[in-house]
Amino acid sequence: MTTTPSATAQIWGLRIHVLCYLVSNVIQVIVWWYYTPDQFFWPLWSILGWAVWLIIHYWWAKASIAKTAKR
């Protein structure tokens, strides 16, 4: 038997995910800017790749919360 996390837990999980996304990507951009500003903007790949998973996490949480609210 599996249980779904509460809506509050899902919202907090998403907030933590967004915070980690922002902090780590800002650090990567700072490192890029400090060490290789004249070269290709390499943080782009992690920003875009992680954004895909962040969007998936948002959709999953939104659908799960809506499903829980119907019960």
- DSSP secondary structure string for all residues of the chain: ---PPPHHHHHHHHHHHHHHHHHHHHHHHHHHHHH-TTS--THHHHHHHHHHHHHHHHHHHHHHHHHHHH-
Domain count of the fold of the chain: 1
pTM equals 0.83
Q: Is residue 47 part of a domain?
A: yes
Range of the domain at 17: 9-70
Mean pLDDT, the chain, whole residue set: 91
Whether residue 1 is contained in a domain is answered as no
The 10s digit of each residue's pLDDT in 34-67 is 999 999 999 999 999 999 999 999 999 998 888 8
Please list, residue by residue across 28-43, b when 16 or more beta carbons sit within 10 angstroms of its beta carbon and e when fewer do. beeebeeeeeeeeeeb
